Amino acid sequence: MTKPAEKKLHDFKIEAACSRTRARAGVFNTAHGDILTPVFMPVGTLGTVKALPPKDLVEMDARIILGNTYHLYLRPGTEVIGQAGGLHKFMNWDRAILTDSGGFQVFSLAPLRKLTHAGVTFRSHIDGSEHVFTPEKVVEIQEILGSDIAMPLDECLPYPSEKDQAEKSLEITHEWIVRSIAAHKLNEQALFGIIQGGMFADLRKKSCEFMAALDLPGYAVGGLSVGEPKDVMLQTLEATTPHLPENKPRYLMGVGHPVDFFTCIELGIDMFDCVLPTRMARNGTLLTRMGRLVLKNAKYRLDFTAPDPACNCYTCKNFTRAYLRHLFMAGEILGAYLATWHNVYFSLALVREIRQSILEGNFPEFKERFLEGYSD
């Protein structure tokens, strides 16, 4: 009897591919379990997915969450997390974690930072103290955090940007990934590359070819969802994914709208993260199969139906729209908890259903049915 092949750390196996699109279903192996792709990764910026304890995320079967290097470095600090035994132990999470480089946060605070080929000098948004991020420093921080997937320092340009600016930025990003690889020593941690190049197809192709030659465990598509029109984002993504290796996972950073799951998976994306589900929940808005449901609307005051009748989450099985509206109108924190429960569950479940449709060979039909009933 032939023994099944042993899993190799950071292997990516494609289980099925859609013959009519670029969508695919796969498995990425990490030190803290298999990641079934396509996958949505809830954002836990400060070592917590806002309002949700880890046990709830396990109940939803979240296989991987995010932490933010910039924020965790500033507070509570790598010394604290290091002495706790790493981020997994610090937050009591025994499944996979991806940490981003903190580059987006540094660059979004443009008035407080200075960039050179050496790295980035910036001031803390908390207390104004000065700090320096180099590619090597960012790798060191993430190795202390002990995440399963780490992102290198890169430059994320604002939209719009001129081509000469994008070319110079790409040169720095490519220089930094080479330095990051040289500094990276934690074998259990997968260091991904990040594709940049602004909204310019030729620069995106150049970045893909450069990164692919480095043979990294996976690749992130950065620099999108930074304020550009949706059609520009999709055009840029469509020009990018064909140049990425087929046998490595592709991670689209910062995208998490329900419709975007379909359109981006259709273009070959495997992994997503976004604060949209948790942020909308805290503001009293639910993601549903029909579209957004704004709980504070007066029409829900006497609506004793489930928030989303098609949903099997804890919130929808136990509470009504009227009750959730009451919680938000009264300023009760339970409202944010229950809304977050639903939105994170909804996002995880929707991407799992998309994955199943790819495995069953009916992804285009599932997409059509979903979009017919969805309205924003």
Q: 3-state DSSP call for residue 314?
A: helix
The set of residues, in sequence order, having a beta carbon less than 8 Å from that of 132 and lying 6+ positions away, is 119, 120, 121, 122
Cα 224 from Cα 41, distance rounded (Å): 17
Burial degree of 67 (CB within 10 A; 0-12, 13-18, 19+): buried
| Residue 127 is a catalytic residue | no
Side chain identity at 142, as an amino acid letter?
Q
Verify whether residue 273 is a known catalytic residue.
yes
Q: How far apart are CA 85 and CA 334, in angstroms?
A: 32
Question: How far apart are alpha carbons 4 and 149 in whole angstroms?
Answer: 26
Angle of helix 201-213 relative to helix 163-183, nearest 10 degrees, comes to 10
CA dihedral sign of residues 254, 27, 344, 361: positive
Find the catalytic residue in 100, 154, 260, 308. Answer: 100
Q: Is 116 exposed, middle or buried (0-12, 13-18, 19+ CB in 10 A)?
A: exposed
What is the CB neighbour count within 10 angstroms for residue 61? 12
β-partners of residue 17 are 24
Structural contact between residues 58 and 64, judged by C-beta atoms closer than 8 angstroms? no
* Contact assessment for residue 275 and residue 258, using Cβ atoms and an 8 Å cutoff: no
Return the H-helix or E-strand segment holding 294. Answer: strand 291-294
Helix or strand run (H / E) with residue 354: helix 333-360
- Contact between 338 and 315 (Cβ < 8 Å): yes
Classify residue 166 by its DSSP letter.
H
C-alpha closest to that of 348 among 301, 298, 312, 317: 312
Asked whether 285 and 317 are in contact (CB, 8 A), the reply is no
Give the tokens for residue 294.
């704004």
Catalytic residue among 148, 154, 260, 273: 273
Tokens 């924190």 belong to residue: 333
Q: Please give the positions annotated as active site.
A: 100, 273
